[in-house]
A and B are shown apart, each in its own frame.
Chain A
Amino acid sequence: MNLTLHVWRQKNPQSEGRFVTYQAKDIIPDMSFLEMLDVVNQELIMKGEEPIAFEHDCREGICGSCGMVINGYPHGGHRGTTACQLHMRHFKDGDTITIEPWRARAFPVMKDLIVDRSAFDRIIQAGGFISANTGVAQDANAILVPKQNADAAMDAAACIGCGACVAACPNASAMLFTAAKIAHLGLLPQGQPERYTRVVRMVEQMDKEGFGGCTNIGECAAACPKVIPLDVIARMNRDLLVAKIKGV
C-alpha cells in the first residue's frame, strides 16, 4: 500500500519545526509502524536528505523509547500498544498519517520526533525507590506478600516510562507515571517505611519539572500502552493527604 505522511521535522530545540510531507511506498501489512518509517528513511538517505529522527530500541513494547503522536493519538491509539508494536495492517492504502513528537513543556523537542524525557528520571531520583543497600536483605520468603497485592503492584510496575500519559493529557501532567511508581512500591510491605516521604518528594519534583496539574480527565490512562489503571492516581492523592496530615 501507499501512504502519505505528514511528519514533524525540527533540527534542534532552538529551531522552529514544521510538518513535511513524504510518500511511503510499497508498504506491506506485516510491517511494523517503525519498519514503515525505516523504509521512508532509507529512501531519504539515498536521496541525500537527513532521515527522520525517532527513538526506538527494543521494538517490542518494553523499553519505552519509542513514542510519537500518530494521527493525534500517542502511540497511535490502539489499546495496550506502543508505536513499535503497531502494525501496518491497521492502515489502508491511500491513508494520510500525521506523525509528531510528544508535546509538553517538561519534554522539550530535541530533534524531529525525539523529546527529552529526563524529567522522569529526576522524579524517580527524588524518591521512586526503596532504600535497600546491597547486602541488607533477609531471606526473600521472610516477607510474605498477598498475591492480590503482588499482582496489583505488578500492574502498576509495568509502566515503561514512555511519556504517552503526559502527551495525552491536556495539562501535560505526569500524574499517571508518578502515581504508578508510588502504587507499585506502596502496595508492598517493603515500601511502607518510606511511603509518605516518597510521595511528598516525588510530587515536589514532578511540580518542579513543569508538568501540569491533574484535573481528572483520564486521557492518560486511555493512552497508556501498559494500561496503568487510573486508580493509582487516587491512591497517590490519598497518600499525599495522609502525608500532609502527618506533617511529612
Chain B
Amino acid sequence: MTTTDTRPTTTRPSTEYLDPKLNSRIPEGPIERKWERHKFEMKLVSPTNRRRYTIIVVGSGLAGASAAATLGEAGYNVKCYTYHDSPRRAHSIAAQGGINAAKNYRNDGDSVFRLFYDTVKGGDFRAREANVYRLAEVSMAIIDQCVAQGVPFAREYSGYLDNRSFGGAQVARTFYARGQTGQQLLLGAYQALSRQIGLGQVKMYSRTEMLDLVVIDGRARGIVTRDMVTGKIESHFADAVVLATGGYSNVFYLSTNAKACNATAIWRAHRRGAFFGNPCYTQIHPTCIPVSGDHQSKLTLMSESLRNDGRVWVPKTPGDKRAPSSIPEDERDYYLERRYPSYGNLAPRDIASRAAKQVCDEGRGVGPGGLGVYLDFSDAIKRLGKKVIEDRYGNLFEMYERITGENPYETPMRIYPAVHYTMGGLWVDYNLMSTIPGLFVVGEANFSDHGANRLGASALMQGLADGYFILPYTIADYLASTKLPKVDTTHLAFRETEAEAADRIKRLLNTKGTRTVDMFHRELGKIMWDYCGMARNEAGLKHALEMIPELRERFWREVKVPGEGNDINQELEKAGRVADFMELAELMCIDALHRDESCGGHFREEHQTEDGEAERDDENFSYVAAWEFTGLGTKPVLHKEPLIFEYVKPTVRSYK
C-alpha cells in the first residue's frame, strides 16, 4: 500500500539494520538543536497558497481541535470531523489532573532536559529520544498559548500560576485548573476552533463518523464517513488527512475512557497500510473507583493528583475485615512508601498499579471482592485542615461520594487500577506522518513520545504540542514538497471504499442474531483484562489468541443490531466499533506475546526480579514494534525501529 517517499531528507540512517519501510526522519545534530534546525530546513507553504490546500482533521479533542484551529488560523482550508454532537464533548474534556511544562516557575531545578529525562525514563526507555526532547521543548509555549486563550489555570494569591506534582517527577511542573484541567484546555482549543468555524476557515462536521480512509496512489487523499443522523455514507477528499481520534482503551470494555472512544479510525487506516506501533502498551491507572457489580458500564478515575496528599495502604494481615478506622497504625502497610521511599505515594503509574495488584493477590485487598486499596487523607486533613484539602480536591471528593455513597473526608477512599490510556497507536515519523504518506496522526492516536508508560499530565501536553506547535509545521513541509494530482470524490477509490463501508453496515444490520453488541464487547473485554491486562504471560496470551478469532467469528454470526441504517442508531454505531476492536485485540496480544520482556505498562510475568519489579531486555527489545497489516487472520509483519539512546542511558528504572 505504501509508496516510498523519495524526497531528500536530512535524516541520518540511524542504524545498520534500518527497515526500508520505517524511516523515522530524525533530524541530524545535537538533540537540543534538532527541532530548531528541522523547522528551518522544512519547506513552507506561503500564506497566499495555503487556501489552495484542503486538510481533513478527524477528531476534535485536544489534538484535533488545536490542530484544526491552528491550521485554520494559518489559512488552510480545513474540514474537521467528530462523532460527537459538538467538538466540545471529546474525551479530552474528562482529564482531571493537569498538564506538564518545564517552566521551572517553582525554581526547583526543572528544565527542558529534566522533563525530557523524566519522560524517557518514565517510558521505560521505549520512546524515541528526539520526539520526547521536542515535546519537552515546546511544553512551555503550550502554557503561554493556553493562558492567552483565557484558560483559568489555578493561581496563587500573588496572581502567579500555581503548580502541583505528579507521579514519576520530583519537581512541581504540573499546571492545573481545579480538577478540570482537560475541560478547560479543551474549551480553550474548542473556542479557538469555534472562532475559525465562525470565520469560515474550518468547516465542522459534527455527528459524522469516519468509517474508512481513502488512499490513492499510495497517499492519503480522503475519508469515507457516515452521517449519524441520516445514515448517509459520504466521501470527502483532501490533500492530507490528520487522525486525532484518541486512544483504544475501550477494547477492554471497562476503562476510564468515555463510552464512545474507539479505534475505528486508526484501525481502518492500519488496514489500509499504516503500521501500528507498540499496540500492547497500555496504561493501567492505579487510582480508579473499584467495580461495583456486573452492571458496571465504565470506570471512573480519581486523579493522580490525589496521591500528593493521600496515602495508600492496606492491612498488614490478609483477610483483615475491620473498618479502616479500627486498624491501628502499626497494622497498616503503606506499601508504596515502604517499597519506594524516595517517590513514595507518587511512584509512577505502572509501578503503583502493579503494587496494588500484588497486595490484593496476597489477600490484603479491601472492599467487596478484595479488589481495592485505601487512599487515605486523614493525615493530610490533620496537617493542612479540611479547607485546604477541599480547595485542592473538593470536586474529586464529591465525585467519589456520589458514586460510592461514602464520604472520603471521613473514611479513606477505596481505589483499584483500571485501564486508562494506550501508549501504542499508529506509528509516525518525526514529522508525525504515518507509513501512508499524507496521513498524519496526532494525540493519543499515535504511538510516539510515551514509550511503554506515560507519565501523568503528559498526554494533554502531547496532544497540544502535536496540534498547536508540531503538526502545522510538518504538514506544510509535506504539502510543499509533494506533487499531488487533483482528485475529487468521483475517483474510483472513493466509490469502492464507500461500497465496502455500506456493505459492512448492511451485514451488521442483517445478521439479526441472538446476542447484543454489549454482550460481545464485555466478553472481549474480559479476555483482554484476564490475559493482556496488568500482567501477561505466554500461555495466557496464546490462549487469548485462540479465543479472540473465535469470538470475532461468533460476533459476525450472532450479533443482534436492532433498527435501521438510515437514522440515529446507537447500536449500529457501537457494533461497527466493537467489530474493529475484535481485530485490534488480536494484534495487541500478538505484540504482547512477541515482546518477551517486561517494560513499563507491559508486564510479562516471566520477566521480573525477585521482588516483583519489571525486567527489561534492552539487548533484544530496544525497538519500536511497528506492525504491518497483511489481511485478517494472517500474521502481521513486524518491522523494527531501533531505539538509540544518546542522552539518557538506559538504566534499571528505579524509584526506590
Measuring CB to CB, which residues of chain A are less than 8 angstroms from any residue of chain B? Answer: 11-12, 28, 30-32, 34-35, 38-39, 42, 44-46, 48-51, 53, 55-65, 80-81, 85, 87, 89, 110-111, 114, 116-118, 120-121, 124-126, 128-141, 143-147, 150-151, 153-154, 157-158, 160-161, 184-185, 188, 190-191
Contacts and interface: CB of A to CB of B under 8 A. Distances in A.
A150 B149 contact: no
Interface string B68-104: 0110010000000000111111010110000000010
Contacts of A85: 399, 402-403
A125 B197 contact: yes
A60 B398 CA distance: 11
Nearest to A185: B150
Contacts of A118: 85-86, 206
Contact of A134 (B70, B155, B518): B70
A191 B154 contact: no
Interface of B: 66, 69-70, 73, 84-89, 91, 93-94, 103, 105, 141, 143-150, 152-161, 177-178, 180, 183-184, 187, 190-192, 194-195, 197-198, 204, 206, 229, 258-260, 292-293, 295-298, 300, 398-399, 402-403, 405, 468-469, 472, 516, 518, 560, 562-563, 567-568, 570-571
Contact of A30 (B93, B148, B197, B293): B293
A111 to B, nearest CB: 5
Nearest to B144: A137
A87 to B, nearest CB: 7
Given A57-B260, A62-B183, A140-B144, A50 B563 contact: yes
A42 B518 contact: yes
Given A39-B295, A57-B259, A87 B516 contact: no
Given A117-B86, A129-B194, A141-B103, 17 more contacts: A31-B293, A34-B297, A38-B295, A50-B563, A57-B91, A57-B260, A63-B93, A63-B258, A89-B405, A118-B206, A121-B197, A124-B194, A126-B198, A147-B155, A150-B154, A160-B93, A184-B150
Per DSSP, chain A at the interface is loop
A34 B84 CA distance: 18
A78 B37 CA distance: 56
A130 B191 contact: yes
A32 B180 contact: no
A116 B85 contact: yes
B150 A45 contact: no
Nearest to A191: B150
15 contacts: A11-B567, A32-B297, A35-B296, A46-B516, A57-B259, A62-B93, A63-B91, A117-B86, A121-B204, A124-B191, A124-B194, A136-B148, A147-B156, A184-B152, A190-B148
A129 B190 CA distance: 9
B89 A63 contact: yes
A53 B132 CA distance: 43
A120 B86 CA distance: 9
A62 B301 CA distance: 12
From B66, B105, B198, residue with most partner A Cβ within 10 Å: B198
Contact of B161 (A32, A55, A126, A140): A140
Given A45-B562, A116-B85, A134-B472, A141 B148 contact: no
B494 to A, nearest CB: 27
B562 A137 contact: no
Contacts of B141: 135, 137
B528 to A, nearest CB: 20
A191 B150 CA distance: 7
The 3 closest A-B pairs by CB, nearest first: A144-B159, A129-B191, A125-B198
A64 B297 contact: no
A132 B562 contact: no
A225 B144 CA distance: 31
A110 B229 contact: yes
Contact of B562 (A50, A110, A133, A145): A50
Contact of A42 (B91, B180, B298, B516): B516
Contacts of B518: 38, 42
A145 B160 CA distance: 7
B70 A59 contact: no
B85 A65 contact: yes
B85 A55 contact: yes
B86 A161 contact: yes
Contact of B297 (A35, A51, A65, A153): A35
B149 A132 contact: yes
A154 B152 contact: yes
Contacts of B160: 141, 144
From A11, A87, A89, A154, residue with most partner B Cβ within 10 Å: A154
Contacts of B103: 140-141
B568 A53 contact: yes
A239 to B, nearest CB: 15
Nearest to B368: A30
From B145, B152, B197, B296, residue with most partner A Cβ within 10 Å: B152
Nearest to B403: A87
Given A118-B206, A154-B152, A125 B195 contact: yes
Contacts of A140: 103, 143-144, 146-147, 153, 161
A134 B161 contact: no
A31 to B, nearest CB: 5
A143 B381 CA distance: 33
A143 B147 CA distance: 8
Contacts of B560: 45-46
Given A85-B402, A132-B149, A59 B298 contact: yes
A68 to B, nearest CB: 15
A64 B259 contact: no
A60 B147 contact: no
Contact of B295 (A28, A48, A150): A28
A127 B148 CA distance: 16
From B150, B190, B403, residue with most partner A Cβ within 10 Å: B150
A135 B138 CA distance: 11
Contacts of A153: 150, 152
A131 B297 CA distance: 40
A133 B149 CA distance: 9
B152 A59 contact: no
Contacts of A146: 155, 159
Contacts of B70: 133-134
Given A57-B259, A118-B86, A153-B152, A141 B194 contact: no
A65 B469 CA distance: 30
A154 B518 CA distance: 38
B190 A124 contact: yes
A145 B187 contact: no
Contacts of A51: 562, 570-571
A150 B180 CA distance: 14
From B88, B157, B567, residue with most partner A Cβ within 10 Å: B88
Contact of B177 (A65, A117, A154, A185): A154
A45 B571 contact: yes
A121 B94 contact: no
A145 B159 contact: yes
B439 to A, nearest CB: 22
B187 to A, nearest CB: 7
B149 A129 contact: yes
Contacts of B192: 129, 132, 134
A145 B206 CA distance: 35
A95 to B, nearest CB: 18
A28 B293 contact: yes
